Structure 1
Amino acid sequence: MRSIAQLPKAHLHLHFTGSMRHTTLLELADRDGIRLPPALAEEWPPHLTAADEKGWFRFQRLYDIARSVLRTEDDVRRLVREAAEDDAADGSVWTEIQVDPSGYAARFGGVTAFTDLVLDAVRDASERTGTGMAVVIAANRTRHPLDARTLARLAAQYAGRGVVGFGLSNDERRGDTSAFGPAFAIARRAGLALVPHGGELRGPDHVRTCLDHLHPHRLGHGVRVQEDPRLLDEIVACDIALEVCPASNVALGVYATIDEVPVRPLVQAGATVALGADDPLLFGSRLAGQYALLRAAQGFDDAELAELARMSLRASRAPADVVRSAEAGIAAWSAADDSSPVAG
């Protein structure tokens, strides 16, 4: 088998704190005397579920605890640099990291100051690793839609200067999705990619709401659209990419096993699928691991994995020269001799 780590690809679904290395979490917590719960220490990776409100609350609590270890500008720079290094090692030539600046504003001087810090860290990490990197600013659907408009205006100010998209995250079972339409209209006018979460914890009806009110270019997750063939046909016709994260789908109880994550049916229907790791810190699996899971559990061969990599690039906001170079790399990977088994 060809090495998945050597397959050029893009990473389009990666959350900021969730990209942190577990070893870094432990080190920073120890530095400041922060006591981590067993699920983030000796019992890591945690056993998670989001099948009910209590399960999501536990997941969010662990995420908030992990975020609390980021105390200094150097901590932020380290997180971004290590995320870029890990993605580069996994074969990513382009990474779009998603962050809600309001979740860090109090400690880092406000949303604008924190955004400036992250963008500077992203530029530095990209230069160090050679992996292209950009930012998606995301609103929190559990907060007021007016807060989302503020973040959309912030994202619009940085359009073309390191910010490439605007998203909507957190538990999609909460909040009124339609109320976030004005925020997404602001981001659309700025030319940003619109990338809300939808179609993971809720089914096709919520995907329809996202389409009607947010007009996405991509859907974070989106896997449950396969439950409605007519809606899936519309997704395909509108070329709305799906950021599918197999490991997190199983960890959060959306599907019982990797076998059930409907990647192949989505691809066979003509959908653009971009694999993502979501929150490696909490799910224990990074980008290359998503490809490896499909190879092992669903029998994806190298040609199918190569096509997934191509789709991730086409769905990205990577510069044209990055996409062309990566596609040439995918062709070379596919043409290489695969007679010697390679791990990964």
Structure 2
Amino acid sequence: MTEHFSALVVRKSVNRTFNCELENLPLDFLPQHEVTIKVHYSSINYKDLMSCAGNPAVTRRFPHIPGTDAAGVVTSSQSPLFTPGDKVMVTCFPMGMNHFGGFSEYISVPASWVMPLPADMTMEQAMAFGTAGYTAAMCVDAITVAGVDNNKKIMVTGITGGVGCIAAAILCQLGYEICADFTTPQSYDFAVKMGATVLLPREELLVTQQQNLAKPRWHAAIDIVGGACLENLIKMTDEHGVIAAVGNASATQFSGNVLPFILRAISLIGINAELSSGDTKSRLWHLLATDWKPTNLMALYNTIKLAELPNLITNYQTQRPFGRIVVAMEP
């Protein structure tokens, strides 16, 4: 195994600014945990961008290597669960927050964080899903478990993001009719590409409504926006519907009333991938590798090289890409 490796390192300056650059590091820069993995692919999640910006809610210790997700091959293991040569992945754990993460040619992690790569899934596909894709699968699972028939309309907000686009792709594959919001002509076109047939400007979902109930427009919803958007989604969901709340792109707080719950019997379900049980992870990753794998998966992501990552992060806010971004470690 090499004695040095490349990684994206976030450093904090004396004036409390943060910068991200690729660095060539000695292998002993990594923490020593049970399993060491040569990373082949990673992916970008929203928490990674927060970590790169030095957000203290995500990362407090610097220098730091971000990257919530990683897929690669085990190079050494102190755990009987894994042996060198095993193809594995790490998702849905605190890696990349206060533990060195996947924007790196090597990682060292606890064995409990490591999962065998699912059969019928490549490492690149695993990172096309990543934590965002698994979170999307949890949202879809909440809808299907609630018994919402696949001939019903499902609202997906934030469809241009990782969770939204993969959730929409899975739902389309399962036969649901997709509704989506949009903010720009480009996001409208992307939503149509993802299979949305009913589209409305996000402004309509952010307008304060005085009534406690509104005309039902869908039978379930997956929301990454939060705030007033979530409040209106609740009012517009049909009887026995379910709303999976998974984000706060607009706001963390929302107002509401009990009538949608006691008159329409809707359910509001919070989604947190890190709190998912091992059995649930195994079941949903198997579905993502088989029946739930979108036929248009390659249209949902773009692949960049590790060397391109610093520039993408620097320009992310002004040139925000749609869908998922997979990071390939090989030059």
- Both structures adopt the same fold (TM-score exceeding 0.5): no
Q: Of the two structures, which has the highest relative contact order with CA contacts closer than 8 Å and spacing of 6 or more?
A: 1
Q: In proportion to residue count, which structure has more helix?
A: 1
TM-score by length of 1: 0.27
Q: Give the structure with the larger strand fraction.
A: 2
